[in-house]
């Protein structure tokens, strides 16, 4: 494959509905933990961090996970979009990104049972009273047995997502992403191992997907559906051995839900983009075989793999995570054909630059 052509594919502008993107490069959602821990507001260094990536020329920025309520907080320093102060603080980020011609969407993230009373002041909530294995991120305490959500809790949480979407619009975001992946709250409803409910939000696959469906329906009241991305995954952050029993059936169920609710932008998540998922196909290729909407590719992508995937139409946009932590000028380096700085957790994670 001619390298020049493929690289121009990754770096060429693209229109996704209302978004005029400068290229097909996405800054993946990256939990950094630099928000004001008490208030959940954005700090000066966060504004500078996002502004730098926009100045560099990235096509689309997906923010770090943002909590729709306090119960959604999974570790220290996570920002929110449920108070006026938080909403106002995010306006500084979106203004900075737009000043440099960038596009930015807010990822709404509720961790459910993967929280702790030390962080949120109350017992974590989940579809069922089943504790996760492992320890809370940065707090290093074992996960607690969560409180099974009542019908009212579910209704309230759906409303919190809707309010967060409204606040995202007020804060100037160009769209939102619903984090329905990796074993967090929405995914806890979808997963048969973590959802033992017998009401309308449990039971069969359709029942377990109802929480996600209701959230999509709610947030669509605040923001056009063509500006909503949904992140979903088979993999769970707290259960490395988990796999869908019926892979084809789950993909069908998700895609049918997205079609019925009008979702057109998907962010399927996997650790390794190139890894064979079912027979010869990767996770993203399997979804592409049944989906002609927008697909954001992610999973330890390198530039060559991303160019190839975009070139053959498997994905429309390519999301990079760690390379963006290590390279604030990632896009410029790609334009210039320069070597990227290798990501080093010890060097790069403690600082926000």
Q: Would you name the residues annotated as active-site residues? A: 184
- Percentage helix, strand, coil for the chain under 3-state DSSP, each rounded to 5: 40, 15, 45
Tokens for 313?
């139409």
Write down the residue that tokens 């009373």 correspond to: 117
Cα–Cα distance for residue pair 199/12, rounded to 1 Å: 48
- Residue 137 makes CB contacts below 8 A (sequence gap 6+) with 74, 75, 114
Among 268, 263, 314, 312, smallest CA distance to 288 is for 314
Radius of gyration of the chain (CA): 19
CB atoms under 10 Å from CB of 275, counted, come to: 11
Please state, in angstroms and as integers, the Cα–Cα distance from residue 152 to each residue in 137, 157, 199, 343, following that order. Answer: 28, 9, 13, 44
- Residue 8 makes CB contacts below 8 A (sequence gap 6+) with none
Cα–Cα distance for residue pair 112/135, rounded to 1 Å: 14
- Residue 178 makes CB contacts below 8 A (sequence gap 6+) with 107, 108, 161, 186, 212, 215, 216, 219, 228, 229, 230, 231
Among 171, 294, 174, smallest CA distance to 223 is for 174
Cα–Cα distance for residue pair 79/70, rounded to 1 Å: 10
Cα–Cα distance for residue pair 184/187, rounded to 1 Å: 5
The helix/strand count (H/E) of the chain reads as: 14, 14
Tokens for 46?
């966060």
């Amino acid at each position: 494959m001619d390298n020049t052509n493929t690289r121009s594919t990754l770096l060429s502008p693209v229109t996704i509905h209302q978004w005029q993107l400068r290229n097909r490069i996405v800054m993946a959602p990256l939990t950094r933990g630099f928000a004001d821990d008490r208030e959940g507001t954005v700090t000066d260094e966060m504004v500078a961090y996002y502004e730098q990536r926009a100045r560099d020329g990235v096509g689309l920025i997906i923010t770090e996970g943002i909590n729709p309520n306090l119960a959604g907080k999974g570790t220290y320093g996570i920002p929110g979009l449920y108070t006026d102060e938080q909403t106002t603080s995010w306006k500084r980020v979106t203004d900075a990104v737009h000043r440099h011609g960038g596009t930015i969407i807010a990822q709404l993230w509720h961790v459910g049972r993967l929280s702790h009373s030390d962080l949120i002041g109350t017992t974590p909530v989940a579809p069922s009273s089943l504790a996760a294995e492992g320890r809370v991120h940065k707090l290093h305490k074992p996960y607690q047995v969560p409180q099974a959500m009542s019908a009212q809790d579910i209704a309230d949480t759906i409303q919190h997502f809707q309010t967060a979407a409204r606040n995202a619009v007020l804060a100037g975001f160009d769209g939102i992403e619903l984090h329905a992946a990796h074993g967090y709250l929405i995914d806890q409803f979808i997963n048969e191992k973590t959802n033992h409910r017998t009401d309308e939000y449990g039971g069969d696959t359709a029942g377990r997907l109802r929480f996600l469906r209701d959230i999509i329906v709610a947030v669509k009241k605040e923001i056009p559906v063509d500006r909503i991305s949904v992140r979903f995954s088979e993999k769970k952050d707290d259960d490395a051995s988990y796999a869908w029993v019926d892979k084809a059936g789950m993909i069908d169920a998700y895609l049918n839900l997205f079609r019925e609710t009008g979702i057109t932008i998907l962010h399927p998540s996997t650790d390794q983009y190139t890894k064979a998922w079912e027979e010869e196909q990767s996770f993203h290729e399997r979804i592409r075989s049944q989906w002609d909407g927008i697909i954001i590719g992610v999973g330890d992508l390198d530039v060559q793999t991303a160019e190839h995937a975009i070139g053959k139409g498997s994905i429309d946009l390519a999301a990079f995570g760690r390379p963006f932590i290590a390279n604030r000028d990632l896009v410029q380096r790609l334009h210039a054909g320069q070597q990227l700085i290798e990501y080093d957790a010890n060097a790069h994670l403690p600082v926000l630059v």
